Amino acid sequence: MSLIRRSNVFDPFSLDLWDPFEGFPFGSGSSSGGSLFPSFPRTSSETAAFAGARIDWRETPEAHVFKADVPGLKKEEVKVEVEDGNILQISGERNKEQEEKTDTWHRVERSSGKFMRRFRLPENAKAEQIRASMENGVLTVTVPKEEVKKPEVKSIQITS
């Protein structure tokens, strides 16, 4: 069984897998090998550190707009893909800095590794017209929407 989670709120459009036992010594996310769910894909701590790339999804009258914080990444290091016509996938990788033998590290807080987020697009999304741009470490993905056709109201005369 897999649970779907986005920022601790159930989101049926997000396809991120959440491991409730992540961080426990016996959980599937541990490196000890004692997984309760051997069929779950395992993630390294490096990947898990950057896996939660924060993404906002808002809907305007014209489009669905996704904004992802990807500071320090170049546009060549980020992929935006559509699978099966309705799954938007945003992924990328931040590499670790090279360590010099003469350097002394006092703190390492910036995360590195791969990230991937997937979202099921609604039926009104025009997946073939997606646009993406990146500015100042923010990736913006715009998915245009089909125009909603208003139902035609037809008056019917009542006869006696």
pLDDT in tens, 21-59: 555 555 444 444 444 444 444 444 444 444 567 899 999
Q: What is the pLDDT of residue 25?
A: 56
In angstroms, the CA 64 to CA 37 distance is: 35
Q: Tell whether 140 is covered by a domain.
A: yes
Q: Tell whether 158 is covered by a domain.
A: no
- Min mean pLDDT across 1-5, 22-26, 78-82, 132-136 is at 1-5
What is the residue-averaged pLDDT of the chain? 75
Number of domains in the chain: 1
Q: Tell whether 106 is covered by a domain.
A: no
Task: Read off the pLDDT of residues 92-121 as tens digits, 9 standing for 90 and up.
Answer: 988 877 777 888 878 877 777 888 999 999
Q: Tell whether 14 is covered by a domain.
A: no
Confidence check: pLDDT of 14 > 70: no
Confidence check: pLDDT of 87 > 80: yes
Q: What is the pLDDT of residue 47?
A: 41
Q: Tell whether 18 is covered by a domain.
A: no
Q: Tell whether 135 is covered by a domain.
A: yes
Q: Show Cβ contacts of residue 143 under 8 Å, excluding neighbours closer than 6 positions.
A: 63, 64, 65, 66, 88, 121, 125, 126, 127, 129, 130
Q: Tell whether 130 is covered by a domain.
A: yes
- Global pTM exceeds 0.85: no
Range 130-145 average pLDDT: 95
Q: Tell whether 157 is covered by a domain.
A: no
Confidence check: pLDDT of 71 > 50: yes
Which CATH number fits the domain that encloses residue 61?
2.60.40.790
Contact 20, 1 (CB under 8 A): no
Domain region containing 67:
54-96+112-144
Confidence check: pLDDT of 135 > 80: yes
Q: What is the pLDDT of residue 132?
A: 96
